[in-house]
Structure 1
Amino acid sequence: MLDDILRKQDGVITMDQAQKCGLSRHAVDRLVRSGHWQRRWRGVFFVADREFSDAARVRVAVLSNGATAVATGLTAAWWLGLTKFAPDVVEVTVPRVSNHIRRAGIHIRRRDLQPADIVEHNGLRVTSLPLTVVEAAVRPGGGPQLLDQALQRHTDLPKLWAAHLRNKGRWGSPRARMLLKAAEEGTRSAAERLFAKLLRQAGITGWKANQKLLGWEVDFLFEGDRLVVEVDGWAHHVDPETFRLDRIKQNALVRARYRVFRYTWIDLTQYEDRVIAEIRAR
């Protein structure tokens, strides 16, 4: 049982867990004195026979703040697989009425989370996926890209709105509302209108919108350059069938020796200078 816990928890174990496995406090102290275990914080230990990984670091940070602590923000996003890299500082949320010591490498937030917004994932308490998305998206290093990717692969807009509304007043709430509103309004047609506006503002000519080409309708056609530009809204507006047909259309255009540029709502709102530079260099 002890080996199973250590394997599942990246070499991290609490005193309570050790005692449930039959170890006394004296036995744990002997393991620490012998160097087999390391005391990472009061009541939290790490087995010294393995690498202290990012997962172990996050576990220690959360478990060392008590049974009610929850990984949140970008820490929760990484734990749930929404981001690739573990944050340098572990964000942990604890109940509003609590007393926790500030420590290097851990950012403590005090807020009472509802049961609907807490899940256990790989043996650690973290915010639910919808709340994680709306909170991580407004953290430095998150941004609209995280929200867009989550809508593509993991969740939908109504669930994100529900999590946001259950947690109004938290840090970053106004910014999260703006992102959700942008996602709600960022339909494909809105993205097309925005792209056309960017072209006009940049003085770029030689294009036509919503043209028939090889039996398909394309969003923007630069006929003289044999260039097609396809514009997508926020991910949740692209259902699986539309996604499939878009790829068939793109393959047909490429076979006919048309180049195809594809831009998303994120590209048009966050990286418009790059988009216009690519069109100018066509």
Structure 2
Amino acid sequence: MLSDYLRRHDGVITLAQARHAGLSRQSVNQRVRSGRWRQCSRGVYFVDDRPFTDAARVRAAVWSFGDQAVASGLAAAWWHGLTRFAPLDVDVTMPRSGSGRKREGARLRRRDLAPADVVESRGLRVTALPLTAIEAAVRGRRNRDVMDRALQHDADLRDLWNAHLRNKGRYGSPAARILLQAAADGEHSEAERLLTKLMRAAQITGWRTNARVGGYVVDVLFRRARVVIEVDGWAFHSDAQVFQNDRERQNALSLQGWQVLRFTWLDLVEYPDRVVATIKAAIRV
């Protein structure tokens, strides 16, 4: 029972869990003194017969704040598979009434989360995917695409809005609202306006918007250069049929000799110089 538990929980165990598995406090202390177990914090241990992975580090950090603690922010995003790398400091949320001090390697926030905003994943309490996505997305520009990845997987835009409204007033709430508005249904036209603004500022000429070509109406057309630009909003992939239709249209235009460039709202906001450089390279004739 103990071995199976340790295997499923990355080699991390709490004193309460060890006692539930049949070990006494004295047995736990003996394992620590012998070097078989390493004490990560008070009442949290790591069985030192395996690598101390990022998963073990995140789990140990969260469990060190008690059984009501929750992994949140970028730590939760990594746990859900929305980011590639685990953060150096683990974001932990615990109730306002809870006890616990800040610890090295952990970033503690006190607030009360609604039951809908907490899930258990692989034996660890973490913020649910919708809240995780909007909180992690505002933690620096390089993390903005976390929300996009969440929408590509199991998250629904309405769920993200509901999580945002349940947690108004938290850190990053105004920035999250802007991102959510950008992902709303009307965002596509806003992204088109942003694209045309970028092209005008870069003095790119010879284009038309909402032009018909090859039996389709495209967002931007460079007829002489035979280049088409299509703009995807963050939520474009939430509708599988729209996604499929867009790809079929792109393939048809490519077969007719048109070069098709696709940009997302995130591209236009975060990487405008790259967008402009790509367009200039494509239309150079």
* 1:89 shift after superposition: 0.4
Partner of 1:146: 146
Structure 2 length as normaliser, TM-score? 0.93
* Secondary structure class of the residue paired with 2:224: helix
* 1:260 shift after superposition: 1.2
> Deviation digits for residues 22-69 of structure 1, max 9, x if unmatched?
111111111112211111111111111100000000010011110111
> Deviation digits for residues 148-202 of structure 1, max 9, x if unmatched?
2212222122111111111112111122122212222653233223222322232
Partner of 1:269: 269
Identity over aligned pairs, percent: 57
Contact 1:136 1:142 in 2 (8 A): no
The one-letter amino acid paired with 2:81 is G
Contact 2:137 2:143 in 1 (8 A): yes
The one-letter amino acid paired with 1:191 is A
Contact 2:134 2:164 in 1 (8 A): yes
The runs of 5 or more residues in structure 2 that have no matched partner are none
Partner of 2:86: 86
The one-letter amino acid paired with 1:51 is P
Deviates more, 1:47-56 or 1:187-196: 187-196
Contact 1:117 1:131 in 2 (8 A): yes
The runs of 5 or more residues in structure 1 that have no matched partner are none
* Secondary structure class of the residue paired with 1:225: coil
Q: Distance in 2 between matches of 1:260 and 1:182?
A: 23
* Secondary structure class of the residue paired with 1:147: helix
Deviates more, 1:218-227 or 1:10-19: 218-227
Are residue 161 (structure 1) and residue 156 (structure 2) matched?
no
> Deviation digits for residues 75-104 of structure 1, max 9, x if unmatched?
011111111110000011111133322221
Partner of 1:68: 68
Structure 1 length as normaliser, TM-score? 0.94
Contact 1:188 1:237 in 2 (8 A): no
* 1:211 shift after superposition: 2.4
The one-letter amino acid paired with 2:198 is L
Contact 2:77 2:136 in 1 (8 A): yes
Are residue 50 (structure 1) and residue 50 (structure 2) matched?
yes
> Deviation digits for residues 116-136 of structure 1, max 9, x if unmatched?
211111000011111111111
Partner of 2:189: 189
Contact 1:187 1:237 in 2 (8 A): no
* Secondary structure class of the residue paired with 1:279: helix
Partner of 2:6: 6
Partner of 1:174: 174
Partner of 1:27: 27
